[in-house]
Amino acid sequence: MFPIIVLLAEFALLAAAWWFLGIAGAAVMVFSILATIAFFYNAAKNKQQMSIVKEGTIEFVVAGETLLNVLENVRDWHYKEGKGYLPYLDENKVEHFEKVKDAIVPDLKDPTKAQEVINGPSRKSLIEEKLGFFWVSALYPLRKIFKFPIVHLRLKPETSVSQDAKITDWLDSTIKDSDGKVIPGDTTMETSLLWKFPRPVLVRDVEFKDLFKANILVRCSYQMVMPRYLVFEWRERFFPLLEQAIQGAVIDYCRNYTGGYTKFIKSGSTGSQSRFFWDALEKLNHGARGLIQEFGVYLRDAVVVQIELAEQDQRTKDAIKANELARLEGQAKVTKATADAQAIGIVATAEANALTSQINASQHMPEALLARYQVDIARLQVEKADKIKSGVVWVEGGGNASIVIPTTPPAPNP
């Protein structure tokens, strides 16, 4: 609120100068106001007495390295010191709440919900909410925006990775300066933290129940809940420790996955909000040693981006391919046999029905002819069963189709 008070005071002085000193005094006051606005803008841009906080990011005001205040520009969410409640949905879209401390929680929207009443309304002022301008301190540099290390790792765009690229080629940890030149290392000092962010995790040599080993690349989507852990406690160890938790859960899940490697890659259940996420990783969020309480982050989703067999000799890979081809060929034979049996049934049933129709259509058929037709019907039914059992294809006009059925019923005896 300090900059607003200063500006209001200067506007009051401008009015007084206009009244008492005339145009010259007013011009001096206008210049003074413009200079003050320019000062605050540059101070905010340079993270000094003020700060321009980008939407979806979080900054920290410190004295030395002691946290004094959290500046969050997150729509409909705010930082709350002390106890609060984080809402989340389970796989059945049922809402739950987890108790958190010194966390970014949703604003008050529905007074009937006790958890949101405890969270309280947003503390942000209008200028903070609409313009992203946050007051830091008049005591800069004794109180200032904190800088902290971030280890960078991201997925390359799919268009920049060749189709036959190794799984490690998808990862990018390079850093570039303002001119686009690559800087050595993978860590930079930052002044802001993303509220929501993606992060890839590579899990190497995952062994399935069928003893095949694979490398799995997972893209995790996180939400920052209690930022103190990343910035002030775990620091540069934060992401390696978080990745180890994800890797351990993926390894345990794949070791016990029914059907092994082949079924896993064919399951089609590794996309957004998939069974893989709910069964392998979502449960990591909760509990006293969960991701929320241990690292201050909420794992919102996890997607398998790539999977490849671990390094094996060529004969093993050829054996896998040969086994799959044999399985598909066997499946094709079974499918053909089933189709042949169905065809036999259709033909034999149709011919039996035709004989039955002949009998029904002839009201005066001689007893001898009627008996012959009934014998033919019974024989067809027996042949149908035998041919289905043996898998012999019924060929129309061949040896299996020797019964001649008249197209019209014979004329009755006079």
Is residue 107 situated within a structural domain?
Answer: no
Coil vs helix vs strand at 52: strand
Mark whether 272 and 202 lie in a shared domain: yes
Q: How far apart are CA 201 and CA 155, in angstroms?
A: 10
User: Within this chain, do residues 274 and 391 fall inside the same structural domain, yes or no?
Assistant: no
- Structural domain span for residue 346: 328-401
Residues 69, 61: contact at Cβ < 8 Å? yes
Alpha-carbon gap, residue 119 to 28, rounded angstroms: 47
Mean pLDDT of 51-58: 96
pTM of the predicted protein model? 0.72
- Please check whether residue 229 is in contact with residue 296, taking contact to mean a CB–CB distance below 8 angstroms: yes
Percent of the chain with pLDDT over 70: 68
Q: What is the CATH number of the domain that holds 274?
A: 3.30.479.30
Residue 171 DSSP class: E
* Shared domain check, 268 and 207: yes
* pLDDT (tens digit per residue) in 330-375: 766 666 566 656 655 665 566 566 656 655 655 555 565 556 666 6
DSSP per position, 258-320: TTHHHHHHHS---STT-HHIIIIIGGGGSSTTSHHHHHSEEEEEEEEEEEEEPS--HHHHHHH
The verdict on 171 and 240 lying in the same domain is yes
CB 195 within 8 A of CB 223: yes
- From 1-5, 98-102, 226-230, 402-406, the region with the lowest mean pLDDT: 402-406
Q: Are residues 351 and 285 part of one domain? A: no
Residue at 115 is within a domain: no
Q: With respect to residue 338, please indicate whether it lies within any of the assigned structural domains.
A: yes
Highest mean pLDDT among 1-10, 62-71, 338-347: 62-71
The Cα 223–Cα 78 span in angstroms is 13
- Comparing CA positions, the residue from 308, 103, 326 lying closest to residue 215 is 308
Give the pLDDT confidence score for residue 1 in this predicted structure.
47
CA distance 102 to 67: 11
Within this chain, do residues 211 and 360 fall inside the same structural domain, yes or no? no
271 plus 359 within the same structural domain: no
**Residue 154 is assigned to a structural domain of this protein:** yes
Question: Which residues have CB under 8 Å from 86's CB, separation 6+?
Answer: 97, 98, 99, 100, 103, 105, 225, 292, 298
402 — pLDDT class (breaks 50, 70, 90): very low
Residues 308 and 186 in one domain: yes
Considering only CA atoms, which of 98, 67, 76 is closest in space to residue 227?
67
Residues 243, 302, single domain; the answer is yes
Tens-digit pLDDT profile for residues 365-401? 556 555 666 666 666 666 665 655 554 444 433 333 3
Q: What is the pLDDT of residues 100-121, one digit of tens each?
A: 999 999 997 776 777 667 898 8
- The total number of structural domains in the chain stands at 3
